[in-house]
Structure 1
Amino acid sequence: MNIFDSSIETYLSHIHFGPFVTKSIEVVADLYSFKGLILVPILLWIWFQPHPRLAWRRQIVLATFASGLVALFVGRLLTHVLPFRVRPIYNPELHLQFATTSTHDAALTNWSSFPSDHAMLWMAIATGIFIVWRGIGALAIIYTLLVVCLPRAYLGFHYPTDLLVGAAVGVVITVLMTRDAIRVRYSVPLLRWIERCPAPAATLGFILCVELVTQFDELRKVAGGLLKHL
């Protein structure tokens, strides 16, 4: 472990709050309500809010959703192709005692720490919000750093570099996906289809929002269960 990760994780592991605060931090880190259920509705607000540049804003919203999907895919892909990195809380060589009591999650034990898919996905979404709505977008970025990323470092689920690299990749993905030369190729035809077929578009949009908020966890569990039986 590099000195940057070591110094920060050592410092965080020595910060122990009371049981109520620690449990609250665990809940914030675990529940979808404090991640996607905060950021995704902001995109829906932007979509429906009247504005002189409504068509452009809706293109950016579509591009942001697309960026989130790409970020989620890239994050999961990198955890499989890059060298496995044990999460701080499961690394006995660190000799650190983290505040969390959630130390027996088999999924996390077998899931590489680098990079953080949480940071990648939600920073990608926050960046898209920032492109459309600077003030709220800045708050969305700060929220992602403090509420989504920081608790995962504090609880020992990720090293700081896991989160920083994941966040950086998420930002780059959204910046690329929202560039005019790339965005218009898929968002303009998709927006036309949405205007032409609002009923199926709204239905699929709702399903997409639900799955993005939950980071496709249930679908992944179903797919994993099927693969084990095949």
Structure 2
Amino acid sequence: MNSFDSSIETYLSSLHFGYLAAKTIEVIADLYTFKGLVLIPLLWWMWFQPDERREWRREMVLTTLFSGLLALLVGRLLAHWLPFRARPVFSGELHLHFAGHVIEDAQLSNWSSFPSDHAMLWMAVATGIFLVWRGIGVLAILYVVLVICLPRAYLGFHYPTDLLAGALVGAGITYLMTRDAIRVRCATPALRWMERYPGPSAMLAFIVCLELATQFDELRMLTGSVIKHL
């Protein structure tokens, strides 16, 4: 355990604001309302904004969605391939008591802490927003840091380096994907298809955004349950 992680987690575990505050932080960390249902609607707002740069903005929105999907996939693969790292709340070597109760105990204890897929996914989305709207994008990045990432460190779900690494990789994925050479190749054909088939494309966009907002949790649970009983 490096001193950077241990010192921050030791400090955070010493902060106890009472039952109600701890429960509030727990709810914020767990509910989709405070994650995808804040950031994904901003992408829809960007999509329908009318001005002379509408096509470029829509390309950026599509590429940001692609980046979020890629970031979530990369996060899951890295957590599977890299050496297993127990989450702070389950780490016996820290001897710390974190506020609140552990949510999804079995799932969290069996899933590596590094890197944070939450930080990777939502920083990827926030970076896409920032590249289109600087002011709102700064607020989106601050939101990811303060509302999505910080509670997960406070509750012992992740070490700071899990969150930092995830955020950097997520931001890097979006930055690369939105470069002209890549963005045009990925987004322009999709945009032309959406203009040609507005009904099916709107339906598909709704499904993709819903699954992204919920981080495919129900699909993963369903898949895991089917595999378990095969």
For the aligned pair, the TM-score class normalised by the smaller chain equals: over 0.9
1:142 aligns with 142
- Residue 229 of structure 1: how far off its partner (Å): 2.1
Q: 1:79-228 residue pairs with structure 2 within 5 A?
A: 79-102=79-102, 105-228=105-228
- Residue 101 of structure 1: how far off its partner (Å): 1.8
The whole-number CA distance in structure 2 between the counterparts of 1:104 and 1:216 is 15
Q: 1:4-19 residue pairs with structure 2 within 5 A?
A: 4-19=4-19
1:35 aligns with 35
The whole-number CA distance in structure 1 between the counterparts of 2:225 and 2:16 is 37
Q: Answer whether contact 1:29 1:152 (CA < 8 A) is retained.
A: yes
Secondary structure at 1:93's aligned position in 2? coil
| Paired AA for residue 169 in structure 2 | V
| Paired AA for residue 11 in structure 1 | Y
1:25 aligns with 25
| Paired AA for residue 218 in structure 2 | E
The whole-number CA distance in structure 1 between the counterparts of 2:176 and 2:229 is 39
| Paired AA for residue 223 in structure 2 | A
1:167-209 deviation per Cα after TM superposition (whole angstroms, max 9, x unaligned): 0000000001101011111100100000000000000000011
Q: Answer whether contact 1:26 1:155 (CA < 8 A) is retained.
A: yes
Task: Give identity over the alignment, percent.
Answer: 69
Superposition misfits of 4+ residues, deviation over 4 angstroms: none
1:89-146 deviation per Cα after TM superposition (whole angstroms, max 9, x unaligned): 0011111111122266100010000000000000000000000111000000000000
The whole-number CA distance in structure 1 between the counterparts of 2:172 and 2:221 is 29
Farther-moved stretch of structure 1 (29-38 vs 91-100): 91-100
- TM-score norm. by structure 1 comes to 0.99
2:68 aligns with 68
1:57-111 deviation per Cα after TM superposition (whole angstroms, max 9, x unaligned): 0000000000000000000000000000000000111111111222661000100
| Paired AA for residue 111 in structure 2 | W
Q: Residues 65 and 103 from structure 1, CA distance in 2 versus in 1: closer, same or farther, beyond 3 angstroms?
A: closer
Q: Residues 32 and 103 from structure 1, CA distance in 2 versus in 1: closer, same or farther, beyond 3 angstroms?
A: closer
Point out where structure 2 has 5 or more consecutive residues left out of the alignment: none
| Paired AA for residue 26 in structure 1 | E
- Residue 227 of structure 1: how far off its partner (Å): 1.2
The whole-number CA distance in structure 2 between the counterparts of 1:228 and 1:6 is 36
Q: Answer whether contact 1:87 1:158 (CA < 8 A) is retained.
A: yes
| Paired AA for residue 33 in structure 1 | T
The whole-number CA distance in structure 2 between the counterparts of 1:7 and 1:53 is 47
Point out where structure 1 has 5 or more consecutive residues left out of the alignment: none
1:147-182 deviation per Cα after TM superposition (whole angstroms, max 9, x unaligned): 000000000000000000000000000001101011
Q: Residues 170 and 130 from structure 1, CA distance in 2 versus in 1: closer, same or farther, beyond 3 angstroms?
A: same
- TM-score norm. by structure 2 comes to 0.99
